Amino acid sequence: MSQNRQSFFQSLGFRVAIYITLIELVMLTIIGFIYFNSFNTEVERRLRENILLPAQLVNDGVLEYASLAELEQLSVLIGEEIVNSFVIGVNNNIFYSLNGDYTGTAFSDFTETLAEPIKLADITESTILGNSNNDNLIAVAPLLSQDGRTVRFYSFIEISDKATQARRDELLQNYILAIVVTVIVSSLVIFVAFNQIIFSRIRVTLSALQAVTAGALSTRIPIKTKDEIGVLQLNTNIMVARLEELVNTLEKRVADRTRDLKISADVSRQIANILDTSELLTELVKRTATEFGFYQVSIFEYDPLKGELRMVATHGHAGQKMLEDGKLFHVGDVGIVPASARTRQATMTNDVAHGQSHAYNPLLPDTQSELALPILYGGDLLGVLDLQSEIPNRFNQSDIELFSAFADQISTAFGNATLFEQVIEAQQAAEKADRAKSAFLASTSHELRTPLNAIINLTSFVKRGTMGPTTPRQEEILGLVMQSGQSLLALINDVLDMSKIESGSLKLYIESDIDIHPIIKHVIGTVESLLTDKPVTFSVDMPPTLPLLAVDKHRFQQILLNILSNACKFTEKGEIRMKITTDDQNLAVSVKDSGVGISKEDMGKVFEKFVQTESGLRQSGGTGLGMPITKNLVEAHGGQIWLESEFGIGTTFYFTIPLVAQTEAVL
């Protein structure tokens, strides 16, 4: 109920009723104001004439002076309530009076009761005065002698206009009531008339439009007249009918396009996972023809050197026959396919019988319409997608947009497949070259190590005097030769180990129940010899007993020596501390030094092969293989290795080795 009331107050009918009421009120108020003013003017005019009438009749000789003191006669003449009436002599004495108490008194005594005194000598003609004390009217007029020239007396008549004012008030009340009744009745009449003639039809039209807005497009407005509203309703019906037709056709078009887009997306998603070019193109034409219901789908590959478009994928018996026959176009030939390749734009004909660009093919006699789209990749023409249909007028602008996007997807998939093939070929070539490099390094390192060991051994014999006595200077030179030989042998061993790791031929010989104390003792001796000439202290913190491990003894020792020798190399003063701890699962080793440290930018390079950090290059150079080999050896044992470092402060390497026995491992 509240909602209906609110809707009514917001309706056009309510506003029209308000406008009509306001117009009527304004018009009736103006008319009433004019009429009431005219009425007041006429009443006042007649009142003035009536109050002056007795004096005029006396001057005309119709009445006697004494008549002015007779209440009954004055009431008949004036028609109003008489308050006072005097006949006053020129000597200011009252001769006749309605009230006998004033007879024979001076008029000046009476005037003292008035708001303003009246001077009879100043009155030369009939005059009407107002008494501001009580709103009465006073008429003073000279009474002439018979010759009409001499003033013998003055008449004084005072009346009350309460009756007149009451009549005015009654008239005003009646008029206001009349206005209200007139406005209400006329507004109702006009509103009912408007409602029947206009508003009801507008509501019908509005209701129909609301139904249309809600989706009932079959709604129509009943038309009863041919006036302006009838014409509006007729045009509205026509508009709704066209809207219904458009919506119906739009829904069909949207459904068709949605179906096409879904098919296109499905086909694209499936072919995107195919990386073999031949399989990709075959699957592509097959799915396109099947899903979209085309008579013929073909892909032509473009050869820019020969300017030819050769069919590389199609479907069906006719397509296979064309493939076997080596179907091709030159870009200058007549046909939809060459035209699309030349212009690099979609080319279409919906009536091949009358189309000049279509090239008739006896293997495809039922073609009625054809669409060719260029397949572009990075701005280069890869080929042309050719679509043929048995239905005339099969293609439109929407199809061009759809299949142009489809052709772009094909080019991307085709490009990805081509790139994948190139990557596979490059990877195979790189792997082959890497295997050849690793084999060469392994072979070369092995061949170099044998004569180098002989050189070191022979030099050792000479130095010890086995081959005859030597001088101190000769022993010094021979020591340098042996030291350089040992360094070169270490480098060759690193290269050989890395080659074996890369080729997957480095084996770990895991032995169970290995006591690592002798290994640690040997490593400690080696480190102390490396620090002989440096102000660096070396300490080891480990429990008195350590569990037996399952490790490759040689490689475990190599891990420790690589990390500790690295610490010795980069620590010029301070200390190096090795700490060994165990838990239920791992043996944990940390090596902390006070060396030059490693910058944050170089920390990622530590375990990269053949890469030296900036501090490493400044300190000693080298092959950059020690730590990469160490990392591989730790991980081959099932452990982990990492480091913490602060440039200028020092570095700490950590690694763990599992306590659980490992089987033989191959890197």
Residue 118 pLDDT > 60: yes
pLDDT value of position 639: 92
**Dihedral angle computed from the Cα positions of residues 498, 504, 506 and 508, in that order, rounded to the nearest 10 degrees:** 130
What does the pLDDT read at residue 170? 78
pLDDT recorded at residue 110: 79
| φ, ψ at 308 (rounded to 5°) | -115, 150
Instruction: Calculate mean pLDDT across residues 14-32.
Output: 75
pLDDT(652) > 90: yes
Q: Confidence band (pLDDT; 50, 70, 90) for 271?
A: low
Token pair in block for residue 595: 């060396």
- Cα separation, 397 vs 401, in Å, equals 6
Is a pLDDT exceeding 60 seen at residue 620? no
Query: What pLDDT, on a 0 to 100 scale, did the predictor assign at position 445?
Result: 54
d(CA 559, CA 519): 11
- Average confidence (pLDDT) over 307-323: 85
Position 273 pLDDT exceeds 60: no
Q: 627, 628, 605: which is closest to 615 by C-alpha?
A: 605
In the 8-state DSSP scheme, what is residue 391? S
Beta-carbon contacts of 413 under 8 Å, excluding residues fewer than 6 positions away, are 268, 271, 272, 274, 280, 284
DSSP-derived secondary structure letter, 65: G
Q: What is the pLDDT of residue 579?
A: 95
Mean residue pLDDT of the chain comes to 78
Q: What residue ranges in 290-402 does DSSP mark as E strands?
A: 296-303, 308-313, 328-330, 347-349, 369-377, 380-389
Residue-wise pLDDT for 43-56, tens only, equals 778 878 888 888 88
Residue 397 has a CB neighbour count (10 Å cut-off) of 9
**Mean pLDDT to the nearest integer, 127-134:** 68
CB-based contact 114:131 (threshold 8 Å): yes
Supply 244's token pair. 């219904």
SS3 string, 271-311, reads HHCCCCHHHHHHHHHHHHHHHHCCCEEEEEEEECCCCEEEE
Q: What is the pLDDT of residue 632?
A: 87
Confidence of residue 250 (pLDDT cuts 50, 70, 90): low
Alpha-carbon distance 90 to 120, whole Å? Answer: 8
Per-residue pLDDT, 416: 67
Assess whether pLDDT exceeds 60 at residue 646. Answer: yes
Residues 610-635 have a mean pLDDT of 68
Predicted pLDDT of residue 615:
54
pLDDT confidence tier of residue 621, bands split at 50, 70 and 90: very low
Per-residue pLDDT band at 220 (split at 50, 70, 90) = confident
pLDDT bracket for residue 126 (50, 70, 90): confident
Over residues 515-553, the pLDDT tens digits come to 999 999 989 988 888 888 889 999 999 998 989 988 888
**What gap in Å lies between CA 621 and CA 485, rounded to an integer?**
17
The pLDDT tens digits of the residues spanning 353-409 come to 776 677 778 888 888 888 888 988 877 888 888 888 888 888 888 778 877 877 777
Q: By the 8 A CB rule, do 119 and 129 touch?
A: no
pLDDT tens readout for residues 588-601 = 999 999 988 888 88
Q: Does 92 have pLDDT greater than 80?
A: yes
In this predicted structure, the answer to whether residue 19 has a pLDDT above a threshold of 80 is no
Query: What are 163's two structure tokens?
Result: 């009756």
pLDDT grade, residue 618 (50/70/90)? very low
Of 10-24, 294-308, 628-642, the range with the lowest mean pLDDT is: 10-24
Q: Of 393-397, 442-446, 569-573, where does the model show the most confidence?
A: 569-573
What is the pLDDT, as a whole number, of residue 542? Answer: 92
Top pLDDT among 238 and 466 is at 238
Q: Is 621 left (phi over 0), alpha (psi -120 to 50) or beta?
A: left
What's residue 643's pLDDT? 92
Query: Averaged over 564-572, what is the pLDDT?
Result: 89
More confident residue, 126 or 310: 310
DSSP single-letter state for residue 356: S
Query: Quick one: average pLDDT of 224-235?
Result: 79
pLDDT of 7? 58
User: For 322-352, how does the pLDDT look when each residue is reduced to its tens digit (9 = 90+)?
Assistant: 888 888 888 888 888 888 889 888 888 888 7
Which of 172-181, 403-412, 445-454 bottoms out in mean pLDDT, i.e. has the lowest? Answer: 445-454
Gap between the Cα atoms of 107 and 119, Å rounded: 10
506-524 burial: b if 16+ Cβ within 10 Å, else e: bebebeeebebeebbeebb
**Confidence label for 498 from pLDDT (cuts 50, 70 and 90):** low
Cα(441)–Cα(500) distance, rounded to whole angstroms?
9
User: How far is the C-alpha of 545 from the C-alpha of 543, rounded, in Å?
Assistant: 5
Q: Reply yes or no on whether the pLDDT at 100 is more than 70.
A: yes
pLDDT at res. 253:
61
Domains and CATH numbers, the chain: 1-215 (3.30.450.20), 274-395 (3.30.450.40), 396-505 (1.10.287), 506-666 (3.30.565.10)
**What is the share, in percent, of the chain residues with pLDDT greater than 90?**
9
Higher pLDDT residue, 303 or 21? 303
